[in-house]
Structure 1
C-alpha cells in the first residue's frame, strides 16, 4: 500500500505512536468532534495495545497520516465497519496537530482514503457522520465529493448538550472523475 498526495503520505500505525495519540487525546480542542473513546482519560498502555491490534481485523482499514515534507505523524484516517456483502464502510479521520488544520489536508486525506476504498477495497458506498457544528469538516467532505443524506438528531453529547450529526456519503458510481 503506497498512498500519498502533495500534502501527506500514509504509513501503518505502530505501538510506538502511542505517546502521540495520548497527547492528542488529552487536548480537548483536538478531540471535541472525535469518537467517544476520547471522552474518557486514556492510558498509554491502552493506546499501545489498541495500536498493536488495529491491523488484525478485516472490517477496518487504518493508516497514519504524515506530513509529506517532514514525515511527522499528524493524524490518522481510514474506513471502519466495512461490510463485504453490502460493499460499504464508514470513513473516519482525525488530524491531531492543530498546526495542520485549515490547509486542505482533511479534503486531501478524505479523497485519497476514499479512492483507496473504491479502487483497492472494492467498496461501493462510503459514508460518514460529522457533528453539524463541525463546519470545517463538513466543507472538507463536500469538497472531497461526499453528498448530504440526512441528519441524526441528538446523536452525540458534547459540552453538556446533545448535538445533531450530518450523514454524508459517496458512491463508487459518483466517484469516477473526482480524483
Structure 2
C-alpha cells in the first residue's frame, strides 16, 4: 500500500501499510550499534516507545531523540527506541555526542524491515518518515502518530502519556 506525506513541502510516497491503535505490532529486524540483530521480541514484556526518524544527524531528529530519551527513559518497564536508516556507527557517534550512552538507537538501513512493516519508508529517499508508535507489553499498538510533514515535531506529550498509560 502507498501513502503520501510531505518532506520539506514536496509530496513523497510512503511504502508499507499504515498501522492503527489496536493492531498487533509487526515484528522487524534491525541492527544495534554493535551490529547485532534486534527484533521486537528482544523487548518482550516491556512498553516500547518507538520514534522513527529520517536521520539522527538532523536538528529535528536529534531534538526528538533526545527528548524522548530524557522524558520517556525513566518510565517504568519502558524502553525508548529510535529507529532510522543511519548506519549504526553514526548512531553510536550521536549517542556519545549527545551524552546519551544508554539511548537505544537502531538501524534499519540493511533490509528496511521496520520501515516497511510500519509504513514509514520514503520511497524517493530511502529514509524513514517521522512517526511515533507506543506498543504495550502485550505487543499491541496503543498510540500512533504519522507526521503529515516529515520535518515537523511529533506530539511529545501525547506519546509520553500513552507510554505511561500502557
Asked if these proteins are the same fold (TM beyond 0.5), I'd say no
The answer to which structure, 1 or 2, has the higher relative contact order (CA under 8 A, 6+ apart) is: 2
Which structure has the bigger radius of gyration? 1
Tell me the TM-score normalized by structure 2: 0.31
Provide the TM-score with structure 1 as the length reference: 0.30
